[in-house]
Structure 1
Amino acid sequence: MAAHRTMAAFFDPAGTRYGVPTWPWRMAPPHLLTRRQLAARGLRPGGQTIAGQVLWRSRRYNAPGGVRAAYLYDVRLALPKRTASPAQRAALAKALKARRVCPECGADAGYVLPRRSGVCLDCADAWEIAS
């Protein structure tokens, strides 16, 4: 019974109550998608303004008032995702590799080094044993 009241509370396709067209969970029109849904189709919002939102009640994540929101964008106005240039890909690979190389032993740990210690786990263990 409470679910029906929640759905009615969040059903505002004209946007008079919330200032932007609003729908309950899974009730938005099919041409309106979230950023993640656009990304799954290889698209991005492309600078368009928010076309609507989906609201739902949640006890997780300490949402204000227990209500969470997902913003919607019109798929018809979306643009294809941009692709990184070879130079950008090379710079990213270099930065990611730097996060894996231990400054103590110089080895590529094969994982991103913990920020807490800043060294690989082997060096961190050796330091703990020596202390």
Structure 2
Amino acid sequence: MRRIADLWDPQGERHDVPTWPWGLAPEGLATRDQLVAMGLRPRGPAAGQVMWFSRKDRTAPRFARLYPIDRATPPRPRTAGQLASLAAAMKARRTCPDCGEVQTYCLPTSLGTCTTCAFGLPAAA
């Protein structure tokens, strides 16, 4: 039987890390997604976790790590080389291997080419 009391473990005796049910974690802790929404990134190990029962998979609870907000820092700025590498990768995802044209969208992996080449449509003028 699923019980919220099974997820309450603030000392970390059952789950090896301090664990709270969803929504009952102490102040000052946040998940990675919550930190990103604040413009921060976690630094250091997780301080605990929250757990909840999913409606899809009722056999095992799901979890999310919690990080201290006071140790989180802003992300490091990307270097010029990283930005150039990302731009080249995105251009490669938009370049059709058949016609060689750079599209305004990423090519569907299911087709492997641009939609014009995949469906044999005439190229737009």
TM-score, structure 1 as length reference: 0.83
Q: What secondary structure, in the 3-state scheme, does the structure 1 residue paired with 2:111 have? A: coil
Select which of 42, 46, 53 maps to 2:49: 53
Q: Percent identity?
A: 48
Q: Which has the higher helix share?
A: 1
Amino acid at match of 1:17: R
Select which of 97, 104, 114 maps to 2:98: 104
2-structure distance, mates of 1:87, 1:18: 42
Q: What secondary structure, in the 3-state scheme, does the structure 1 residue paired with 2:94 have? A: coil
Moved over 2 A (4+): none
Select which of 18, 30, 34 maps to 1:33: 30
- Number of aligned positions between the proteins: 121
In the TM superposition, residue 87 of structure 1 has moved relative to its aligned partner by 2.3
Which structure 1 residue ranges, 5 or more long, are not aligned? Answer: none
The residue number in structure 2 matching 1:80 is 74
Which structure 2 residue ranges, 5 or more long, are not aligned? Answer: none
1-structure distance, mates of 2:55, 2:100: 45
State yes or no: 1:114 paired with 2:108: yes
What do you get for the CA RMSD once the two structures are aligned?
1.9
State yes or no: 1:43 paired with 2:40: yes
CA deviations on 1:111-130 (whole Å, 9 max, x unpaired) are: 11122332101100019xxx
CA deviations on 1:21-71 (whole Å, 9 max, x unpaired) are: 10001110121111111111121112x1111110100132x47x2310001
Amino acid at match of 2:39: G
CA deviations on 1:56-94 (whole Å, 9 max, x unpaired) are: 00132x47x231000101111122211111221122011
Q: Is the 8 A contact 1:10 1:22 kept in 2?
A: yes
State yes or no: 1:13 paired with 2:10: yes
TM-score, structure 2 as length reference: 0.86
Q: What secondary structure, in the 3-state scheme, does the structure 2 residue paired with 1:80 have? A: coil
